[in-house]
Structure 1
Amino acid sequence: MTRRPRARSIRARLLLFISATLVVVCTAMALTTALVQRAALLGNLDGRVTDAAERSLGGARLHPELTDDLGFLNENGHPAGLLAARLDEDGDILSAAVVSQDAAPKDLTAAQRTALEGITANGSRHTRTVPRLGTYRIAVLDSDGVRVLTGLPMEDVQRMIGGMVVAGAAVAAAGLVVAGCACAVVIRRQLRPLGRVAATAVEVSRAPLNRGEVTALIRVPERDTDPGSEAGQVGAALNRMIEHIESSLTERRRTEERMRRFLADASHELRTPLASIAGYAELMNRGTDRIEPVLAWRRVLAESGRMTGLVEDLLLLARLDEGRPLQSAEVDLAALVAEAVWDARAAGDGHDWQLGLHIDTPALVMGDEARLHQVVANLLANARVHTPAGTRVVATVETHGADCAVRVTDDGPGIPPALLPTVFERFTRADASRTRAPGLGGGSGLGLAIVAAITTAHGGRIDVQSEPGRTEFTVRLPLAGAVPPQPVCAGSEAATGRSQGS
């Protein structure tokens, strides 16, 4: 298995890229400067070669009959190293000599003459390397049959170009070192916020999020969250992600706490009737003289019914939580609320039950009639159970625009303020203990939770306002023409319109 090469850091890649770019730019500038200077120096040298060739040609034309005469080299003013030769018509060298410093011109050797052969009199400049003399810039001029070859050494030009290249390379190298160090410092400083963001991410990744209490996670400092920079954008995004993680973990913890409380309450609610059934069965098993058989069976049936109702409520809530569709048909809320009020009056004749209809249009909604009846019945039962006898309870149906509102109002003692925020949660009861006080009604604490779940499943919402002397529950549902009908559920076998106090 081949190992993947280790990726370089952004800092190293930036420094490498900038350094390579600077090397290319400096090299190009040095080469361009050297070429331009070389062309200028060669142009200057070519001018001097031309002048020297014309002067030599003028001297040779004084004695055209002396084809091998180089006497013009003895004249003053010729630079040391000047090379001159007389050529025949075929371009062969007849005689050649070089001017020496403070000495008479020196004839060229056969090898040196061979290096000068093949140059034609076309006016162009040629570069030749002459043994033991160096590199020369040479020109051949021809006038009236007199042909003269003249050359000047390129040593000064080559030395100057070489020195310029060395100096340029040294300056470029020093500039590259300084620029590299400056870039390294700048890159390090500019990437420092990104490093702090990465350190924050590493610190968050080490937090034990899967167990224990989640404490406040570390945040990216505010100075590293400036949206004007890329590192700031990453820091701000990381902070938002950390906030989302904290909120998600907090919500998960709350959900787990509610689930544990829900399971504990559900277990207790189921255990109580089971314990009663087991107790009566044990009494009957020991003999009928201990308890009246009819009374025992009645208590067993009552506890069985209570347990069955609780299980049905839990199943209904589970179905609604899963988002299963309810039955959908056109329901007249006015008629439904009127029937529920009549049922409540029969169940609790000690209260003053009233019905109010304030409808401009038919109060028709699309939904499950049995579930909607359960909503109204639970609200009325909640008012009956938690208010003293003689309390006035008013059920009102109103239509406003595209909504239909069902209000259940009573003038009882009201809901305790501490209980109001959680009144629609499951197993919420005014009596926080799991024991029922003798003589008090009340259910398992699922009634209002079922009301809220059914209302939400129908696309509506429920609100509550309570103060001493007035409590009002308001259920708002869209009228039949406002929303498309709900899909029909295959069987709606959960609990029907039982009253369930909160």
Structure 2
Amino acid sequence: MTAVSRALARLRGRSLRARMVLVHSLTLAVVCTAMALATVTVQRVYLMSDLDQRVTDAAEHSQGGREHGPPGASLGFLNERGQHTGTLAAVMNGTAIATAEVVTDDGPRSLTAAESAALNGIPADGTLHTRTIPGLGTYRLTAVTEDGTAMLAGLPVGSVQDMIDSLVVVEAAIAGAGLVLAGSVSAVAVRRQLRPLRRVATTAVEVSRAPLDRGEVSGLTRVPASDTDPGTELGQVGVALNRLIDHVEWSLSERQRAEEHMRRFLTDASHELRTPLASIAGYAELMLMGVDTRKIEPELAWRRVSAQSARMTGLVEDLLLLARLEEGRPLESADVNLATLVGDAVWDARAAGAEHHWQLVLRLGAPATVLGDQSRLHQVVANLLANARAHTPAGTRITVTVEAADGHCAIRVHDDGPGIPGDLLPAVFERFTRGDASRSRAPGTEGGTGLGLAIAAAITQAHGGRVGVDSAPGTTEFTVTLPLAATAAAQTP
């Protein structure tokens, strides 16, 4: 176990392939060792059992020789053919009698006194004993008695031990060759199995080298489809890495889009603020020049300065409103009757745009009462009506419909004007989006800042509603959908 622990400790800091090969090799080594030990143990038991049986047979054979042989020939069976080299026999009488002999290549010989003394004390009960005889080695011995005469027989254990040692050497050689072969095969197999993981690692390295801090982030390398099988562990790693790369690419694209939006917003806001500031600065300069020359009426200059200041103040307030809405600041909450609110907004729009044809339609299957900020909701409707009036020619019919049913209230502002250009339609609710793409205006004309629809969308979303637009040449319809008061109260936690 200590060797295995040291081997496992060496795995730290190695590559995955090396660890897998070492683990496979250690596993195979443990299995081979266990099999070798089991084989040696079983073989030893078998050989020792066979040796014991031959020792017992030799002892019984010696009794037969004593009974049927001539006097003094009790050990004569050792001269018979077929006796194993090293067979030992003795006549016992408590101690070994001097006539004990051992078979060698040159025939039987008498044991020395020291050798005979090693046989003393073996009981003649047929049990097997192991003794070490000086000069001869280890023996398995047994003694049997019949008619008062005890006969001892024994065989050397060395032959069995030699056979077991040879078996150990052969098994070690086979196990070593098997380990080398298995290690080589494991290295090749592991290397082949880890190819997908190397490709995944290569993909990760390529992505890490991509310039993610600048420019448009797209087309990042992905793990090949062949390495994204969810049924395998390596495939699951490939799938997870692809999802991570998708998320990183999407996040960076969103960040870039947000940065571009912010840059465009700052550019547009700066332009919108620069125009009234330039106008104010110009009239102020004219007023200073006109003090002496009387080329400008102070009252006219002050009116223009006041108008441009009001315009700049309105723009700043609109931007602040959008910022508050994006931060999620709470709005006032009270029951608001949209039918009454829309009716008032239509009357105001009719007064401001008498050259248009205005129509109000109420389709109320339920009370058109919503929960929200009345002034902000009025701003939504007013912005939609102002947008319809500003982008349609005189004589255009503008129909405002209020519908209440199925837990929602819908406000539809429809006109039969020229419609919204197709390339402008996707960005119609973004900040500073105007029907006239250019920022220049004709002298003496006033235009919107492009924040009206953005504010309408933000206020609607803050009330848990949604706003949409459908447009084609000759027809445009904005739709604001808000939950009725009962529905909104039920959804509030």
TM class by shorter chain equals over 0.9
Instruction: Tell me if structure 2 keeps the 8 A contact 1:462–1:476.
Output: yes
Q: Distance in 2 between matches of 1:384 and 1:299?
A: 25
2:163 maps to: 160
Aligned AA for 1:424? Answer: F
SS at match of 1:433: coil
After TM superposition, give the deviation of residue 225 of structure 1 in Å: 1.2
Instruction: Tell me if structure 2 keeps the 8 A contact 1:93–1:117.
Output: no
Confirm or deny that 1:259 pairs with 2:259: no
Aligned residues: 481
Instruction: Tell me if structure 1 keeps the 8 A contact 2:414–2:477.
Output: yes
Aligned AA for 2:308? Answer: E
Q: Which has the higher contact order (CA 8 A, sep 6+)?
A: 1
Instruction: Tell me if structure 2 keeps the 8 A contact 1:367–1:486.
Output: no
Q: TM-score, normalised by structure 2?
A: 0.92
- After superposition, the Cα gap between the structure-2 partners of 1:373 and 1:69, relative to the gap in structure 1 and judged at 3 Å, is same
1:221 maps to: 224
More helix by share: 2
SS at match of 1:472: strand
- After superposition, the Cα gap between the structure-2 partners of 1:76 and 1:246, relative to the gap in structure 1 and judged at 3 Å, is closer
Aligned AA for 1:190? Answer: Q
Q: Distance in 2 between matches of 1:271 and 1:249?
A: 32
* Stretches of structure 1 lacking an aligned partner (at least 5 in a row): 488-502
Instruction: Tell me if structure 2 keeps the 8 A contact 1:87–1:94.
Output: no
Confirm or deny that 1:242 pairs with 2:245: yes
- After superposition, the Cα gap between the structure-2 partners of 1:485 and 1:433, relative to the gap in structure 1 and judged at 3 Å, is farther
Paired residue for 1:143, among 143, 146, 159? 146
TM alignment of 1:168-207, pairs within 5 A = 168-207=171-210
Aligned AA for 2:174? Answer: V
1:297 maps to: 302
Aligned AA for 1:308? Answer: T
Confirm or deny that 1:466 pairs with 2:471: yes
- After superposition, the Cα gap between the structure-2 partners of 1:439 and 1:301, relative to the gap in structure 1 and judged at 3 Å, is closer
Paired residue for 2:343, among 335, 338, 343? 338
Q: Distance in 2 between matches of 1:463 and 1:439?
A: 33
1:100 maps to: 104
Aligned AA for 2:145? Answer: D
After TM superposition, give the deviation of residue 6 of structure 1 in Å: 5.7
1:20 maps to: 26
Q: Which moved more, 1:338-347 or 1:153-162?
A: 153-162
Paired residue for 1:434, among 411, 414, 439? 439
Confirm or deny that 1:322 pairs with 2:336: no
Instruction: Tell me if structure 1 keeps the 8 A contact 2:98–2:110.
Output: no
Q: Distance in 1 between matches of 2:416 and 2:152?
A: 131
Deviation digits for residues 109-133 of structure 1 (CA, Å, limit 9, x no counterpart): 2332233333222322122232332
Aligned AA for 1:461? Answer: R
* Stretches of structure 2 lacking an aligned partner (at least 5 in a row): 1-9
After TM superposition, give the deviation of residue 438 of structure 1 in Å: 4.5
- After superposition, the Cα gap between the structure-2 partners of 1:61 and 1:146, relative to the gap in structure 1 and judged at 3 Å, is farther
Q: Percent identity?
A: 66
2:459 maps to: 454
Instruction: Tell me if structure 1 keeps the 8 A contact 2:419–2:474.
Output: yes
Q: Distance in 2 between matches of 1:151 and 1:483?
A: 106
Q: Distance in 2 between matches of 1:114 and 1:430?
A: 126
Aligned AA for 1:120? Answer: P
SS at match of 1:483: helix
Q: TM-score, normalised by structure 1?
A: 0.91
Q: Distance in 1 between matches of 2:450 and 2:129?
A: 111
Instruction: Tell me if structure 2 keeps the 8 A contact 1:385–1:441.
Output: no
- After superposition, the Cα gap between the structure-2 partners of 1:6 and 1:61, relative to the gap in structure 1 and judged at 3 Å, is closer
Confirm or deny that 1:212 pairs with 2:215: yes
SS at match of 2:316: helix
After TM superposition, give the deviation of residue 473 of structure 1 in Å: 0.4
Aligned AA for 2:324? Answer: R
